[in-house]
Amino acid sequence: MGFLKKIFGSKEPAVIHNHADFWYWFKQHEQSFFKTVKKHDKVDENFLSKLTPLLLQLNDDFFCVTGMVSEDIAELIITTDGTVKAFVFAEECIAAAPAIKGWKFTALKPPCDIESMGIEMDGYEFNGSNISFYSNDHNEYPDEIDIVLVHKDFTESNQEAITSGSLIYLDNMLGEYNTATMLDTVLVEGPSTNNVDLIPIEKLQGYLLWRQKEFVEKYDGIRYGTKNDSYTAMEAEDDDGMPVFAIINQDLINWDAKASHPWMMVVEIKFNGDENEGLPEDDTNDIMNAFEDEILKQLPDADGYLNIGRETYNETRTIYIACKEFRRSSKTIAALITAYKDQLEISYDIFKDKYWIAVNHLKQP
Domains and CATH numbers, the chain: 2-107 (no CATH), 119-219 (no CATH), 231-362 (3.30.70.100)
The pLDDT score that the predictor gives to residue 1 is 37
Q: Are strands 146-151 and 185-189 parallel, antiparallel or unpaired?
A: parallel
CA dihedral 253, 256, 259, 263 (to 10 degrees): -10
- Report the sign of the C-alpha dihedral through residues 35, 39, 41, 47, in that order: positive
DSSP conformational letter for 44: I
| 23 neighbors 96 (Cβ within 8 angstroms) | yes
Q: In angstroms, rounded to a whole number, what is the distance separating the alpha carbons of residues 20 and 25?
A: 9
Beta-carbon contacts of 15 under 8 Å, excluding residues fewer than 6 positions away, are 6, 57
Residue 32 vs residues 8, 37, 210, 263: alpha-carbon distances, Å: 15, 9, 45, 42
The length of the chain in residues reads 365
Angle at CA of residue 321, ends 281 and 357, nearest 5°? 105
Report residue 329: phi and psi, to 5°. -60, -40
What are the residues facing 265 on neighbouring strands? 321, 350
Residue 363 vs residues 80, 232, 242, 324: alpha-carbon distances, Å: 33, 10, 20, 21
The pLDDT score that the predictor gives to residue 2 is 43
| Sequential pLDDT tens for the chain (365 residues) | 344 333 444 456 689 999 999 999 999 999 999 999 999 989 999 999 999 999 999 999 999 999 999 999 999 999 999 999 999 999 999 999 999 999 999 999 999 887 777 899 999 999 999 999 999 999 999 999 999 999 999 999 999 999 999 999 999 999 999 999 999 999 999 998 778 899 999 999 999 999 999 999 999 888 888 888 888 999 999 998 899 999 999 999 999 999 999 999 999 999 999 989 999 999 999 999 999 999 999 999 999 999 999 999 999 999 999 999 999 999 999 999 999 999 999 999 999 999 999 999 988 76
Q: In angstroms, rounded to a whole number, what is the distance separating the alpha carbons of residues 344 and 357?
A: 27
Report residue 109: phi and psi, to 5°. -65, 125
Report residue 311: phi and psi, to 5°. -135, 135
- Report the sign of the C-alpha dihedral through residues 354, 360, 363, 365, in that order: positive
Of the candidates 128, 213, 238, the one whose C-alpha atom is nearest the C-alpha of residue 173 is 128
Q: In angstroms, rounded to a whole number, what is the distance separating the alpha carbons of residues 36 and 34?
A: 5
DSSP conformational letter for 141: S
| 228 neighbors 250 (Cβ within 8 angstroms) | no
Report residue 213: phi and psi, to 5°. -60, -40
Q: Tell me the residue type at 263.
A: W
Q: In angstroms, rounded to a whole number, what is the distance separating the alpha carbons of residues 212 and 136?
A: 16
Of the candidates 199, 187, 329, the one whose C-alpha atom is nearest the C-alpha of residue 264 is 329
